[in-house]
Amino acid sequence: MGNQTILVVEDDIEIGNAIEIYLKNQNYEVLRAYNGKEGLDVISKNKIHLAIVDMMMPEMDGLTMIMKLRESNDFPVLILSAKSEDLDKITGLNMGADDYITKPFKPMELLARVNSQLRRYNRFLEKINEQDDSNTTYVVGGLEVNEDTKEVKIDGEIVKCTPIEFKILLLLIKNPGRVYSLESIYELVWNEEAIATDTVMVHIRNIREKIEIDSKNPRYLKVVWGVGYKIEKE
């Protein structure tokens, strides 16, 4: 885990100090920022592998920061929020965050989520580095998903997806017509036992916003009520 850098964006100095200690004990490099504006500045000058971002901060809040960093970065983002900020957590996931943790949190829970996100991100980077010339593209109607270049297109236009969104979409389009439960999607994409299927639902909602003309009447990503989700065959 050495040489991986985590950015902690938290205006509460005591909480930030505690997180820094936990992470450094796991041999992570830690950079600090105290609002979203400072966080973006740190990202522009350093190679970041994961960011932990508080929601409520002065100058620029966490939601705005996540929206801006996702314009050009795909590293995992972990939201740090209070229990009363449930709506912000959902909005943050919609804007490109990968997971969240609620204050007050236990150190082991924080580290487990950080380690899990970094494992997935590292596997994602390895697959990109292993690309060859024989691209594998899956097509359903106007939806194209290229497994090698990690590109998603709708009617020829590139759609930006986070690593988690891409993995969910790839799983479904490789098996058109097959219905996957939320638990199955979580276990196949996250590679661990399903513990937070609400997170899957938020990512699916976000995918629909990106690939569907009308997300309430989807053409591609369909729900089978009481069972799960599928990419419709065409």
Structural domain count, the chain: 2
Judgement on whether residues 13 and 117 belong to the same structural domain of the protein = yes
pLDDT at 170: 94
Least confident of 7-21, 79-93, 211-225: 79-93
Judgement on whether residues 74 and 169 belong to the same structural domain of the protein = no
Judgement on whether residues 12 and 74 belong to the same structural domain of the protein = yes
In angstroms and rounded to an integer, the radius of gyration of the C-alpha atoms of the chain is 18
> What is the average pLDDT score of the chain?
86
Helices (runs of H) and strands (runs of E) counted in the chain: 8, 11
pLDDT at 86: 67
Judgement on whether residues 84 and 155 belong to the same structural domain of the protein = no
Phi-psi region of 213 (alpha: psi -120 to 50; beta: other; left: phi over 0): alpha
Calculate mean pLDDT across residues 219-233: 87
170: domain CATH number is 1.10.10.10
Judgement on whether residues 102 and 167 belong to the same structural domain of the protein = no
Number of neighbouring beta carbons within 10 Å of residue 205: 14
Residue 133 has pLDDT above 60, yes or no: no
Compare 95 and 29 and report the one with higher pLDDT: 29
Judgement on whether residues 162 and 106 belong to the same structural domain of the protein = no
98: domain CATH number is 3.40.50.2300
Judgement on whether residues 151 and 90 belong to the same structural domain of the protein = no
Calculate mean pLDDT across residues 57-67: 89
Q: For 153-182, how does the pLDDT look when each residue is reduced to its tens digit (9 = 90+)?
A: 988 889 999 889 999 999 999 888 889 999
Domain boundary among 62, 96, 129: 129
Judgement on whether residues 112 and 154 belong to the same structural domain of the protein = no
Judgement on whether residues 78 and 21 belong to the same structural domain of the protein = yes
For the chain, the first-to-last Cα distance in angstroms comes to 44
Domain boundary among 129, 156, 185: 129
Q: Which domain holds residue 30?
A: 5-129
CA–CA separation, 50 and 13 (whole Å): 19
Calculate mean pLDDT across residues 24-28: 93
- Contact between residue 3 and residue 30 where contact means Cβ atoms under 8 Å apart: no
What secondary structure letter does DSSP report for 233?
Answer: P
pLDDT at 225: 87
Judgement on whether residues 31 and 112 belong to the same structural domain of the protein = yes
Domain boundary among 70, 102, 129: 129
Judgement on whether residues 19 and 114 belong to the same structural domain of the protein = yes
Calculate mean pLDDT across residues 38-63: 92
Q: For 80-132, how does the pLDDT look when each residue is reduced to its tens digit (9 = 90+)?
A: 887 666 677 777 787 788 888 888 889 999 999 999 889 888 877 776 565 54
Residue 215 has pLDDT above 90, yes or no: no
pLDDT at 15: 93
